[in-house]
A and B are shown apart, each in its own frame.
Chain A
């Protein structure tokens, strides 16, 4: 049985405020998906590989999309990205990188590792809301179509 739940979005973010803003942006955008928040890199991989406290597939369903912060404790977003995109089974899950700067190196590195999209947390907060809403819907839809 495939425990991948279409409605689940995984947000990997350590900053409490940023979690609040991102979750708000997703819900304000009209998404009704369940959002699971993981606050460090190591736990994010444990979640994806159903290890330790995340071993129950029902409680820890595979997400249809991952929103991944670049700077995380214990393991960076790039390391998680690399691991997941090298995994034959997990690489199909779309990953969107979240970053606070539009650093060229970060963007290029993400692209090399196979990121599906990225959002630079911008100066105008409204435009972040707009992007999250748009991207969240887009990738949720793509993922849905692929699965069906």
Chain B
């Protein structure tokens, strides 16, 4: 046996003799380095330290690398699979070396340099284990990525299937409704005069209800299909979006509401189709609730600070504070007002605004009615 081996053996025996002291010092150093939070999440037992100690101290002399790898692999896999971060494993390794140096220095103070060779051997083993650790970690992360890619693809496929189903179901549901609408319209156009008053009433009610059903299907489909993923953002002027939305509300509601706006210079990055839908529902809601009032005016203005705020203020009948959150829930309507609608408009509006990373709520309007207050992040503002 060479003298070097002897030195190693004697040191190895020395560390094994003082194993308990070593383990205590080592574990203490590790615990001091890790925060309470980390310690709660990743607990290391005596067995963990013991296994690692054996791997480092015995490895070179007895079974060399293979043994180290087997012990280490098992240990590393266990820890990594438990979600233990790479940095914690490195802390344990670093403190192993620190403890070994300290103990060798304290026992052989005069001949520290001659023992350096053995410490180097130990250091090499620790470094080897660091490399194994990194390799395992890389493999683990790569496996996770593969799993994630597969899951994302499965989810995307599921989503595509769902969209296709919704699309088909919508068409299938709308088709018979449209047939009914067509025939009731024909009855109204051609045979209305010869139908008794009661029959005319039934016919009118059929038309109104089928139309509501039709709109409900449209709104529910829109609700299901609108998602941030499908957003097609581009530079848009809020004034243009507002003007188009006003036009649509006017075509759908027989109501002379007026809209005054101060949005002319504001350009943002957004999905024009979705924002038109959003503004349309906000305006329609306000227009409907101003219907019973005399003036019926909506004032749209904005404010830019560290974000962009839009205000749609009306002078209508207002909404009591306790119902202001309720109106954003799907299919909820304030029925006592007897105003037509599917109860999906403001739900859709909120979904669109959230998709644009903003928020929407109802407040008191300075003009007596309700104020729809939208906040969008500063990042959406598009400079000229």
Contacts and interface: CB of A to CB of B under 8 A. Distances in A.
Contacts of B214: 123
A102 B218 contact: yes
B171 A18 contact: no
A6 to B, nearest CB: 28
A66 B174 CA distance: 22
B171 A71 contact: yes
Given A100-B170, A101-B174, A103-B221, A20 B273 contact: no
Nearest to A127: B251
B178 A121 contact: yes
Interface string B158-188: 0000000001101100110011011111100
B167 A103 contact: yes
B217 to A, nearest CB: 8
A102 B248 CA distance: 13
Contact of A70 (B171, B179, B230): B171
Interface string A89-120: 00000000001111111100000000000000
Nearest to B166: A103
Interface residues of B, number: 23
Contacts of B131: none
A21 interface: yes
Contacts, number: 56
Given A24-B186, A123-B211, A123-B214, A103 B181 contact: no
B225 interface: yes
A124 B182 CA distance: 9
Contacts of B215: 123
B181 A18 contact: no
Contacts of B170: 100-101, 103
A126 B168 contact: no
Given A101-B218, A103-B167, A17 B182 contact: yes
A144 interface: no
Contact of B174 (A24, A100, A124): A100
A21 B177 CA distance: 13
A99 to B, nearest CB: 8
Interface in B250-275: 273
A103 B225 contact: yes
A45 to B, nearest CB: 21
B223 to A, nearest CB: 13
Contacts of B178: 17-18, 21, 100, 121
A3 interface: no
Q: Is the interface of B mostly helix, strand, loop or mixed?
A: helix
Interface in A1-52: 15, 17-18, 20-21, 24
A107 to B, nearest CB: 9
Contacts of B217: 101
A110 to B, nearest CB: 14
A126 to B, nearest CB: 6
A27 B173 CA distance: 27
Given A18-B179, A20-B182, A100 B211 contact: no
Interface string B212-256: 001101100100010000100000000000000000000000000
A101 B183 contact: no
B198 to A, nearest CB: 22
B175 A15 contact: yes
B221 A101 contact: yes
A138 interface: no
Nearest to B168: A71
Given A100-B174, A103-B221, A125 B179 contact: no
A18 B225 contact: no
B167 A123 contact: no
Nearest to A102: B218
A4 B330 CA distance: 52
B278 to A, nearest CB: 13
A99 B178 CA distance: 11
B203 to A, nearest CB: 12
Contacts of B221: 101, 103
Nearest to B174: A100
A120 to B, nearest CB: 9
Interface of A: 15, 17-18, 20-21, 24, 70-71, 99-106, 121, 123-126, 129
Given A18-B175, A101-B174, 15 more contacts: A18-B182, A20-B182, A21-B179, A71-B175, A101-B171, A101-B217, A103-B167, A103-B170, A103-B221, A104-B225, A106-B167, A123-B214, A123-B215, A125-B181, A125-B184
7 contacts: A18-B178, A71-B175, A101-B217, A101-B221, A103-B170, A105-B225, A125-B184
Query: Which 10 A/B pairs are nearest by Cβ-Cβ distance?
Result: A125-B185, A17-B179, A100-B174, A21-B182, A123-B211, A71-B171, A125-B181, A123-B214, A121-B178, A104-B273
